[in-house]
Amino acid sequence: MTELTLQLTIMAHGGAAMGRDEDGRPIFVPFAIPGETVRAQLTTEKRHFARADLLEVLEPSPDRVEARCPHFGTCGGCHFQHMRYDAQLKHKQIVVGDQLQRIGGFNNVNVRPVLANPSPWQYRADVSLSPIPDGGLGFWSPKEQAVIPIESCPIIHPRLQELWQDFDLELPGLRKLTLRVGDDEALLAALEVDGVEPPELAADFPVSVALVLPDKTAVSLIGDNYIMQRVRGRDFRVSPGCFFQPSPAAAEMVVDAVMAYANLTGAETALDVYSGVGMLTAFLAEKAYQVVAVELNPDAAADTAVNLQDCENVSLYEGLAEEILPWLDAAPDVVVVNPEGGMETAVIQAITTMKPARLIYVSSDLPALARDGKKLAQAGYNLVEVQPIDMTPQAFQIETVSLWQPKADI
C-alpha cells in the first residue's frame, strides 16, 4: 500500500490530524498531532480525501506524551492520550469552529476556550461493555473490527474498574452491559439482551442489576433500579436506560453555562426540551417563574417527578417533542434543548414559531449542532456564542452549550 510523508496542519472532527498530499487532497491520520511530520500508509482512498495509518513520527510535536493505557491505539474509546491535556483543549476549540463553519456555514463564530474537566482521568461514571465471542467482556476495537479484552481503563471511575474485574457473567443473548457508579459509590449493572425475558441472576457482592428493554425503559432484577448523582448540591435519581452525563464534574459546568446564558430574573417562562431526568429543569425552576419540560422516555419522566418533587412551578409532558410542541400552550422566554443527535425539523419549526428571546442548545454532536444551526439561522436566529466543555477528556467528543437569539435582538 502507498506510503507518504505528511506535514499535519489541523485536527479534524473525529480525532485524526489532517495533512495534504502533493495534489492537495486531505489525508487524515489518527494518533498524530498538528505540527508533526509523519510517515503514514494510506488505508482508504476516496476522490476528495484519504485515510492513513501512522507508521512513524519523523518530527514530533512538543505536545506529544506517552499514553497511559496499554490498549491505546487499539481500543476505540480514547483518541488523544498521546497529547498533553492543554493541547487537547486547544484543538477541540478549533474543531468546534471548523465544524460550524464547514457544515453550518457560520463564519467568525465566538467559540470560547474549552472548559477543562477537573478530572481528566478516572472521570467516567459509566462504561459499556460487549461480550467477547470466546467469553468475557471487552470494548469494540475499530482497528481489530472485533470486541477485545481489556485489562484496565484509566478513564473510568475506580469503583467501575473494581466491579468490572469482579464481574463474572455468562449470559446467552447478552448484547451490552453498562456499569454505572453513583455519587455515593453505589453500583448498577444494566443488561441489554436479545428478547425481553428477564434472566435469573444472583449477586454475591453489593450491586444492583437491571434489564434495559428496547424502548430504554428498565426492569429491576436485583436491588435498586437506579443510581443517584449529585450536581451542584441537588440529588438526581437516574434509571438504567436514562441518559446522564458521563462526567458528573463536567455536568456541573454544563449547568453553569446554561444558567449563565438563560440569565433568568424570576419572571420568565422556560421550556426544557429533551429534558431527561430533569437535571437542567431543576436549576431552571430555581430561577424561572415557571418551567415546561418535555421528555420521551417514561423512566426519565418518572425520575424527573422524583427529582423535582420540591418544585411547584414545573409542568412535565411525556412524549415525542415533535408531537407535543406544536400543541403546547406556552410562550417561553427561554428554550433549552438537549437532543441526542439532532432535532426533528418539526421541533425546530415549533420552537422558532414560539419566538423565544433566548435559545440554548446543549449538544455533544457537533455535526448535528451545525446542521440544526443552519435551520435555526434560516428561521431567523443568530448564533451568539458557543461554550465548549470537556465532558470526555482523552476522547475527541466535545460538549457544547450555545446561545441563539432572534436576529432582530442582536
Last residue of a domain, one of 229, 258, 292: 229
341 and 360 housed in the same domain = yes
237: in domain: no
SS3 string, 261-328, reads HHCCCCCCEEEEECCCCCHHHHHHHHHCCEEEEEECCHHHHHHHHHHCCCCCCEEEEECCHHHHHHHC
Q: What is the total count of domains within the chain?
A: 3
pLDDT of residue 390: 98
Residue 188 structural domain: 126-229
pLDDT of residue 198: 56
361 and 332 housed in the same domain = yes
277 and 400 housed in the same domain = yes
104 and 130 housed in the same domain = no
pLDDT of residue 199: 58
202 and 151 housed in the same domain = yes
271 and 329 housed in the same domain = yes
Task: List the CATH number of the domain containing 30.
Answer: 2.40.50.140
Task: List the CATH number of the domain containing 162.
Answer: 2.40.50.1070
Question: For the chain, first and last CA: distance in Å?
Answer: 53
pLDDT digit string (tens) for the chain, length 410 residues: 789 999 999 999 999 999 999 989 999 999 999 999 999 999 998 889 999 999 999 999 999 999 999 999 999 899 999 999 999 999 999 999 999 999 999 999 999 999 999 999 999 999 998 888 877 788 988 888 889 988 889 999 999 988 877 766 666 778 888 999 999 999 998 888 876 555 555 555 578 888 888 888 888 888 888 999 999 999 999 999 899 999 999 999 999 999 999 999 999 999 999 999 999 999 999 999 999 999 999 999 999 999 999 999 999 999 999 999 999 988 999 999 999 989 999 999 999 999 999 999 999 999 999 999 999 999 999 999 999 999 999 999 999 999 999 987 65
278 and 401 housed in the same domain = yes
Q: Please tell me the distance from the alpha carbon of residue 313 to that of residue 274, in angstroms, as a whole number.
A: 18
32 and 133 housed in the same domain = no
Task: List the CATH number of the domain containing 333.
Answer: 3.40.50.150
Q: Give the chain's count of helices (H) and strands (E).
A: 8, 21
248 and 395 housed in the same domain = yes
9: in domain: yes
Last residue of a domain, one of 171, 202, 229: 229
**Cβ proximity of 63 and 83 under 8 Å:** yes
81: in domain: no
262 and 392 housed in the same domain = yes
87: in domain: no
Last residue of a domain, one of 204, 229, 254: 229
Widest distance between CA atoms in the chain: 65
The DSSP secondary structure of 333-373, one letter per residue, reads: SEEEE--SS---HHHHHHHHHH--SEEEEEES-HHHHHHHH
400: in domain: yes
* CB-based contacts of 186, cutoff 8 Å, min separation 6: 206, 208, 224, 227, 228
Selection from 307, 294, 301 nearest residue 338 by Cα? 294
Q: Please tell me the distance from the alpha carbon of residue 290 to that of residue 293, in angstroms, as a whole number.
A: 10
70: in domain: no
224 and 282 housed in the same domain = no
The reported pTM is 0.94
Cα–Cα distances (Å) from 263 to 336, 339, 403, in that order, read 12, 21, 11
381: in domain: yes
303: in domain: yes
pLDDT of residue 207: 82
260 and 356 housed in the same domain = yes
